[in-house]
């Protein structure tokens, strides 16, 4: 892996964009300035960025209910994202989709998804499309550990392997399905143990290390692009906030020591230390990146706040395909 300093700084900036976007959105939601629920991606930034930096713009990804990070990492427009979350007409879905349906087909981002595990078969469909058309595009399915207990995951993984499709399965194992620890819902500890059952290689990677995720994904994507079929990458990671929002519900479901231990491995701050220690960037350069992103987030919020809500006449727009259902 030969990443230039510019590439590494771009990966850092992408993680900072996710971090600050999520924290801003979370505060807007909890102060009543943004409707609906938000499932924040804070803590897991290295996974989305490490994976998406290994993809081409025309490669596909499918996402989850915790999907903002995936869209940001694929190159999403922060202003259109913020507007969508606020339900404004200038948003990605015209303000009618919100957090869990956000997408950008021009970037190959086929959508967040409010149903656990439901994005996985969509990625397999995209992989089927790629193979059917003879394209060398790859499809990546992001999903959580708990979604591998869902039937849709099994059917999708089986089909992808049986048909040898160019799909990379990226499991973000953050140890909890909503508020339930993995060990209460699965008899195995590593999702990767399931890969062999479908006939694909599976690897564990440190999901708090953006370069480790990136390197593993590069190889998994290269295999898929060469026609060598699917692979599963299990990134061990942790969400710093709760299942949704910033504040707790008063439900004690994670030991404090565990949360502290994972936060000590913050994927952004540890990466910054390595950039400085390796002579790739200075502390001033890193601070400048944060400042730039803070300005971008402020501009995105301003754009969203100043945007109109969709007109009632837009109610059915985008619901049916052109010409209507047949």
Partner 1 sequence: MGSVGIIVNPWAGKDVRRLHAPVGHTPDTAKIGIVRRVILGALDVGAERVHVARDVGRIAERAAKAIDRAVLVDGPGTGSALDTRRAAAQMAELGCAAVAVLGGDGTSRDVTMGWRDAPIIPISTGTNNVFPGFVDGSSAGTAAGLVASGAVALADAGRRAKLLTADIALPGGDRIQDIALVDMALIAEQGTGARAVVRSDLIRLVVAALAVPASTGLSAIAGRTSPVAADEEGGVVVRLGGEGRRVRVPIVPGSFDVLPIASIDRLADGGSITVEGPGVLAYDGERDRVLPAGSTATITVARTGPFVIDVARTLRAAADHHLFDVAPGDSTAATRTEAHHGH
Residues near partner 1 (CB under 8 A) are 1-3, 8, 183, 187-190, 192-193, 195-196, 201-206, 209, 211-212, 214-216, 219-220, 223, 231, 236, 238, 258, 261-262, 265, 274, 277-280
Rank residues 13 and 65 by Cβ distance to partner 1 and give the closer one. Answer: 13
Shortest reach from residue 78's CB to partner 1, in Å: 28
Give the nearest distance from C-beta 113 to partner 1 in angstroms: 26
Gap between the Cα atoms of 39 and 241, Å rounded: 9
Give min distance, CB of 155 to partner 1, in A: 22
Contact yes or no for 41/101 (Cβ under 8 A): no
Which of 197, 318 has the CB closer to partner 1?
197
Q: Which is nearer to partner 1, 52 or 122 (CB)?
A: 52
Q: Which is nearer to partner 1, 80 or 223 (CB)?
A: 223
Nearer to partner 1 (CB atom), residue 34 or residue 275: 275
Please identify, using beta-carbon distances, which residue of 181 and 318 lies nearer to partner 1.
181
CB contact at 8 A, 165 and 230: yes
Closest approach of partner 1 to the CB of residue 204, in Å: 4
Least separation, in Å, of the C-beta of 243 and partner 1?
19
Q: Which residue's structure tokens are 């300035």?
A: 33
Instruction: Considering the complex, state which of residue 250 and residue 279 has its C-beta at the smaller distance from partner 1.
Output: 279
Rounded distance between C-alpha atoms, residue 154 and residue 264, angstroms: 34
Minimum Å gap between C-beta 246 and partner 1 is: 22
Q: Residue 249 Cβ, how far from partner 1 at the closest point, in Å?
A: 24
Distance CA 190, CA 187 (A): 9
Nearer residue to partner 1 within complex by CB, 7 or 158: 7
Shortest spacing between CB 192 and partner 1, in angstroms: 5
């Amino acid at each position: 892996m030969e990443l230039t300093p510019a590439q590494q700084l771009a990966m850092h900036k992408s993680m900072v964009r996710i971090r600050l976007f999520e924290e801003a959105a979370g505060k807007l939601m909890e102060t009543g300035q943004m409707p609906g629920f938000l499932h924040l991606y804070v803590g897991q930034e290295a996974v989305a960025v490490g994976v998406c930096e290994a993809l081409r713009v025309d490669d596909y990804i499918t996402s989850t209910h915790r999907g903002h990070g995936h869209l940001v990492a694929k190159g999403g427009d922060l202003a259109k994202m913020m507007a969508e979350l606020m339900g404004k007409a200038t948003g990605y879905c015209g303000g009618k989709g919100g957090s869990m349906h956000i997408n950008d087909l021009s970037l190959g981002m086929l959508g967040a998804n409010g149903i656990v595990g439901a994005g996985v078969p969509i990625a397999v469909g995209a992989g089927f499309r790629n193979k059917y058309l003879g394209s060398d595009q790859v499809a990546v399915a992001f999903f959580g550990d708990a979604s591998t207990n869902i039937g849709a995951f099994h059917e999708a993984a089986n089909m992808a392997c049986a048909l040898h499709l160019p799909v990379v399965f990226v499991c973000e194992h953050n140890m909890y399905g909503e508020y339930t620890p993995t060990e209460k819902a699965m008899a195995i500890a590593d999702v990767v143990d399931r890969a062999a059952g479908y006939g694909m290689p599976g690897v564990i990677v440190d999901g708090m290390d953006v370069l480790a995720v990136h390197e593993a994904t590069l190889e998994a994507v290269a295999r898929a692009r060469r026609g060598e079929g699917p692979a599963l990458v299990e990134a061990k990671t942790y969400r710093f906030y709760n299942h949704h929002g910033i504040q707790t519900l008063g439900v004690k479901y994670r030991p404090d020591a565990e949360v502290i231990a994972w936060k000590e491995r913050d994927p952004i701050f540890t990466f910054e230390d390595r950039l400085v220690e390796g002579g790739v960037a200075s502390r001033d350069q890193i601070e400048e990146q944060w400042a730039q992103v803070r300005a971008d987030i402020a501009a995105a919020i301003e754009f969203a706040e100043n945007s109109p809500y969709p007109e009632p006449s837009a109610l059915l727009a985008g619901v049916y395909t052109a010409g209507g259902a047949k």
